Amino acid sequence: MGTSIANLKVGERGVIKDISLENIPLALLEMGCLPGEDVELLQIAPLLDPLYIRVNGSHLAIRKETASRILITKKY
């Protein structure tokens, strides 16, 4: 099932399948936020933005708007 990182619940995981390269900051790509990588939603900030994720062994905080552009396949 396809969705985006922004639609995950805390503790859910997925595999990045597609990224809109035009709309994703280069820094995220450099930190390993690439197709084929596992991603896990660790925490959501109290005001629902940003989201804290683990990808490629790193913990990252990303805006919900950016997370919605990173398509994943959920892992069950």
> What does the pLDDT look like over 30-51, one tens digit per residue?
888 899 999 999 999 999 999 9
- Report d(CA 64, CA 75) in Å as an integer: 20
CATH number reported for the structural domain that contains residue 53 in this entry: 2.30.30.90
- 3-class SS at 53? strand
* Section 3-22 average pLDDT: 90
Task: Determine the pLDDT at residue 51.
Answer: 97
23-32, pLDDT tens digit by residue? Answer: 788 888 888 8
Q: What is the extent of the structural domain holding 9?
A: 2-75
Distance of CA 9 to CAs 48, 49, 59, Å?
12, 13, 16
The tally of CA atoms less than 13 A away on the side-chain side of residue 64 is: 12
Contact present, 62 and 40 (Cβ < 8 Å): no
Residues 53-67 pLDDT 10s: 999 889 999 999 999
**For all residues of the chain together, what is the average pLDDT?**
91
Report how many domains make up the chain: 1
